[in-house]
Amino acid sequence: MDSELRELRLAHPRPEPLMALGQKLRRHHPSERAIWLMQQLEMYWDALRLQAFRQPLELYFEAQALQMGSRWPLAERRALELAARFPTLRLVEIGAGIGGDTLELARTRAFRTIEQDESRRSYLQHNLEACGFTEVEVQGGDGLTRLDGAQLLYADPARRNAKGRQWHDLAPDPAELWKLGLPLCLKLSPGLDESQLPSGCDLDYVSHQGVCKEATVWTPGSGRVRAFLYRDPDWLVAERRETPPVAPLEPGMWLHEPDPAAIRAQLWQPLEGWRIDETLALLATEPGLRSEWTQTFEVLEIADGDRKNLIRLQKHYDFQPLEIKKRGFDVEPEELRKKLPRGTSGGAGVLYLTRVAGRHRALICKRV
């Protein structure tokens, strides 16, 4: 381990301006080494913020691999589920990056991993050793051609370019992996088109830090679709269910905005809720019904959403701070805010611009 890097990270555990530190490092090191140390320090801060690795202190990072890498609670959950579903099969990971998944898989089993990029592979080796995982076998080359003895595959494909939306824009190509017919766990973008997945696979949408970060596809499966939401240190989990009907929204009712993974997985929580519009994921309930999957608002008034009316409403309610939210309503909240009177004493409130039964409406709300 690079003890100087470790000391540097311990001495600077939180983001700070790098100018003075950079000058100091340059006085004591060749500039290439000083730059590397500073980059490693900055990426350590990112890793902590993103929860990208369980114990990042001693690890080496590479910028792109860190951005693509799995957040450790998500990687841990997947590794544990892989162990529960397929406890005895010989696992091969294709495309390890610098080890976001590898380090969590290594806590559950011995396996082989293949990373084609040489510099990432050397960081991966370092990271495995730094964490004491010497039983993981690391190989180079194209993983698709090195599957001898594999009984189970894991892959987290990388985008070949920023634009591509097809399977062949990913490396490795999921379609190639499914063709192999081996049990497979695949981490994909949550924006995937479900109709392109193998029939009968299981699908998990997973949320972290308020964002639906990934979709995990399991083959073989039973067609189950679930959402997972990380509530440190536990996971909330629920399954897809039938879409509830649309029914009226009235003042006094509670409005529920689901977590992004719950929207993708179509959990429709709370269970007692009804939709307020055919095209939206927002649900309404009688007051008093809460769900851990949603942010909840008490609806005070339902009004027209034209500019004149919004100014009148804000004058009346006088919200400060005023939160402006939108769903299915073409408006730029920060632009709109500039046009509304600034509240003084009305307390915190929410202007929720959305569609109700096909009509654009302004909902005056309080967060519950």
Ligand X SMILES: C[S@@+](CC[C@H](N)C(=O)[O-])C[C@H]1O[C@@H](n2cnc3c(N)ncnc32)[C@H](O)[C@@H]1O
Quick one: three-class SS letters along 241-304?
Answer: CCCCCECCCCCCCEEEEECHHHHHHCCCCCCCCEECCCCCCCEEECCCCCCCCEEEEEEEEEEE
Q: How far is the CB of 101 from ligand X (least distance, A)?
A: 4
Q: How far is the CB of 74 from ligand X (least distance, A)?
A: 9
Q: What's the rounded Cα separation, in Å, for the pair 225 and 104?
A: 23
3-state secondary structure of 58: helix
| ∠ CA 115-116-121, rounded to 5° | 55
Q: How far is the CB of 128 from ligand X (least distance, A)?
A: 12
Q: Which is nearer to ligand X, 144 or 263 (CB)?
A: 144
Q: Which is nearer to ligand X, 65 or 215 (CB)?
A: 65
Which residue's structure tokens are 């999957």? 293
Which residue's structure tokens are 């976001």? 100
Q: Which is nearer to ligand X, 113 or 294 (CB)?
A: 113
3-state secondary structure of 343: coil
Q: How far is the CB of 52 from ligand X (least distance, A)?
A: 8
Q: Which is nearer to ligand X, 171 or 182 (CB)?
A: 171
Q: How far is the CB of 33 from ligand X (least distance, A)?
A: 25
The residues of the shown chain that bind ligand X, judged by CB under 6 A, are 65, 68-70, 94-101, 114-117, 120, 142-144, 156, 158, 171-172
Q: Which is nearer to ligand X, 98 or 225 (CB)?
A: 98
Omega into 258 within 30° of 0, i.e. cis? Answer: no
Q: Residue 336 corresponds to which tokens in the numbers above?
A: 């709109």
3-state secondary structure of 27: helix
Q: What's the rounded Cα separation, in Å, for the pair 15 and 212?
A: 26
Q: Which is nearer to ligand X, 185 or 284 (CB)?
A: 185
Strands 322-327 vs 349-356: parallel, antiparallel or unpaired: parallel
Distance from the first to the final alpha carbon of the chain: 49
Cα distances (angstroms) measured from residue 352 to each of 132, 299, 327: 51, 9, 8
Q: Which is nearer to ligand X, 182 or 368 (CB)?
A: 182
